[in-house]
Amino acid sequence: MRAYGLAILLALGLVGCADSEPNPEAVASIVRGLSATPESIDPQLARSVASAVVLTDLYEGLLTRNAEGQIIAGAAARWALSADERKYTFELREGLRWSDGSTLTAADFVRGWTTLVADDTAAFYADLLNPVRRNGDGRLAIEAPDDTTLVVTLTAPTADFLQRLAHPALAPRAQGEARFNGAYQLEQYTPLGNITLVRNPYFHAADSVDIARVEYQPFEQEQTEYAAFRAGTVDVTSRVPRAVFRQEPRPDSLRTAPYLGVVYLSFNMRDAPSASTRLQLSAAIDRPALTDTIIGRGERPAYGLIPPGVANGVLPFESRLQSVDPVESGSQPAGELTLHYATSDENRVVAAALQEMWRSAFPDLKVTLANKEFRVLLSESRAGTFDGLMRRSWIADYNDASQFLAILKSDAAANSSGFADARLDTLLAAIDSTNDPAQRERLLHAAEQLVAAQVPVIPLYFFVSKHMVARRVAGWQDNPLDVHPTRFLRLLSE
């Protein structure tokens, strides 16, 4: 009996325990969820989107993005392009410092970029610097003639070069211990747990940073993250469970916006059905029904690979593909077809819907669904051994239209279909090497038409970004790259 009384007292004591966390009123701080545990917070070693979110707060490249996702001056105050369009000269701001007060110079950028492309770094994003020329000894053609000037020489004019510079992989690198030049610096980090950042007093725009402290919590499960949001312990979530979209009325905290990513089905062109069959399969899909009814989160139907509103140099690109024309004559698809997809709820629903659409359109065609674990799918895609169709997706690293057609370049690693067309390769090379926006637009349209006519892939829909943002957080701007640096967020006083 006494033991029970003791146990009950102990339990009550634990419940009544005062929280040892700091009073949230004293320091303006928010909690943001991440969709996975970041594998690294070293800008040149990081591989995933979750890491990039944290790195955006810790580091600033030559250029950076504002709250609307547009490229603005970052560490570089001014830049100029040479007459032959192959040499960029960047002038860094005056008085740049690292988070420990030491001076930040152009040599730090040289060090960062060199580390990125070095063999032993084995960095995932080394190809961002492909447009930069290599010297005779294999080193990058970048120089720092003085502490505040950086000169970059390209092999050819590259329209999307400036867009790349905002990527965290191109951040500067301090010598020795890790230091930070972004709006925030690291206070606490464990590889598996939460990451706490505090305001960096040496940031050149530190006065404009409202939130003093941000804690990133990785959530592998979206339901757990959503529960934490509802309980009030997380202010911004990294994604939203599907069930929330069915709530009437839609919650105010739910923010969705077009996102630069496309979901498509890839044929295996090494052993694919005829072009007429491929066209008919594409035409039979009711994309608006897929996006509005079956998925229903605001995704948009995709008839081409390039999302509307993505930049093509300076102007936003408007695709001319509105629908897939039905094929008038020719035999109907028949036989067997397998649709492979990675294990997930959403993929299963979409795959089932597609199977149904094809079944009703082509009674002689038998469509089987095959779901596989994500990495198994990727290894089959890499080896080119899958039969039928595979559901894939592609998300842009930076805001440029050519990113989306690059997956069909014959030598691209991301080319799961094995599609190889010399005309497309030529077009893509021309697109990459011209700086004239009108010319680029013409070439992009031509490339889109070429792809649409041959159907190596069937585009399905374009992504939307989805977050729950607590009412006390202001300054959240929707943007197509889904980049939301904490420095542009504010807390509303209660």
Partner 1 sequence: MLRYTISRLISVIPTLLLVMMITFLLVHAAPGGPFDSERTLPSEMQARLQAAYGLDQPLWVQFGNYLGGLLQGDMGPSFRYPQSSVNELIGDAAPVSLLLGSLAFVIAVVFGSAAGIMAALRQNRATDHLLMTVAMTGISVPAFVVAPLLVLLFAITLGWLPASGLSTPRHFILPVFALALPTAAYVARLIRASMLEVLKGQFIRTARAQGLSSRTLVLRYALKPALIPVVSYLGPAVAALLSGSVVIEQIFNIPGLGRLFIQSALNRDYTLVMGLVILYSTLLVLLNLIVDLLYAVLDPRVRY
Q: Contact letters (x/-) for partner 1, 171-190, by CB under 8 A?
A: -------------------x
242 binds partner 1 (CB under 8 A): no
Determine if 19 is a binding residue for partner 1 (CB under 8 A): yes
Task: Answer yes or no whether residue 59 interacts with partner 1 by CB under 8 A.
Answer: no
Dist. CA 354–CA 360, nearest whole Å: 10
Q: Which of 228, 254, 321, 327 binds partner 1 (CB under 8 A)?
A: 228
Q: Is 331 exposed, middle or buried (0-12, 13-18, 19+ CB in 10 A)?
A: exposed
224: CB partners within 8 A, 6+ apart: none
Q: Determine, following the binding rule CB under 8 A, whether residue 410 of this chain makes contact with partner 1.
A: no
Query: What's the rounded Cα separation, in Å, for the pair 337 and 359?
Result: 11
Instruction: Give the C-alpha separation, 191 to 231, whole Å.
Output: 25
Q: Which residue has the tokens 């492979």?
A: 340
In angstroms, rounded to a whole number, what is the distance separating the alpha carbons of residues 175 and 484? 28
**CB closer to partner 1 out of 208 and 393:** 393
Nearer to partner 1, 3 or 80 (CB): 3
Is residue 442 a contact point for partner 1 (CB under 8 A)? no
Return d(Cα 387, Cα 267) in angstroms, integer. Answer: 8
Least distance to partner 1 from the beta carbon of 473, Å?
19
Contact status: 120 vs partner 1 (CB under 8 A): yes
Whose structure tokens read 């994003």? Answer: 125
Based on the shown chain and the rule CB under 8 A, indicate whether residue 266 belongs to the binding site for partner 1: no
302: closest CA among 280, 323, 326, 281?
Answer: 323
Sheet holding 254-267, edge to edge: 300-301, 457-468, 254-267, 389-395, 335-342, 365-372
Of the two residues 418 and 475, which places its CB atom closer to partner 1 in the complex? 418
What track of x and - describes contact with partner 1 for positions 364 through 403 (by CB under 8 A)? Answer: ---------xxxxxxxxxx---------xxxx-x------
* 122 lies in the site for partner 1, by CB under 8 A: yes
By CB under 8 A, tell whether 193 contacts partner 1: yes
CA dihedral 186, 187, 190, 194 (to 10 degrees): -100
Judged by CB under 8 A, the residue of 135, 221, 368, 449 near partner 1 is 221
CB of 9 to partner 1, least distance (A): 14
Closer to partner 1 by Cβ: residue 38 or 333: 38
Six-digit token string for 355: 């199977």
Residue 57 or 397 with smaller CB distance to partner 1 = 397
Quote the least distance from Cβ 375 to partner 1, whole Å. Answer: 3
Q: Does the protein bind partner 1 through residue 334 (CB under 8 A)?
A: no
The alpha helices in 151-273, defined as continuous H runs, are 161-164, 222-231
Is position 243 an interface residue for partner 1 (rule: CB under 8 A)?
no
For the bound state, the minimum distance from the C-beta of residue 283 to partner 1, rounded and expressed in Å, comes to 27
Q: What 3-state class would DSSP assign to 143?
A: strand
At 353, which helix (H) or strand (E)? helix 345-361
Q: Of residues 25, 84, 119, 345, which one binds partner 1 by CB under 8 A?
A: 119
Smallest separation (angstroms) from partner 1 to the CB of 211: 20
Could you give the dihedral angle defined by the CA atoms of residues 34, 38, 42 and 47, in that order, rounded to the nearest 10 degrees? Answer: -100
Place of tokens 């560490």: 75
Per CB under 8 A, does 8 bind partner 1? no
> Out of 28, 35, 47, 298, which residue is the one contacting partner 1 (CB under 8 A)?
47
Does 14 bind partner 1 (CB under 8 A)? Our answer is yes
Q: How many CB atoms lie within 10 A of CB 238?
A: 24
Number of residues that bind partner 1 (CB under 8 A): 61
| Residue 326 sits in the site that holds partner 1 (CB under 8 A) | no
Any idea what the Cα angle at residue 132 is, between residues 126 and 136, rounded to 5°? Answer: 100
Point out which residues pair with 338 in neighbouring strands: 368
Binding residues for partner 1 (CB under 8 A)? 3-4, 7, 11, 14-15, 17, 19-21, 37, 39-40, 42, 45, 47-48, 119-120, 122, 124, 126-127, 190-194, 217-221, 223-225, 227-228, 230-233, 373-382, 392-395, 397, 412-414, 416
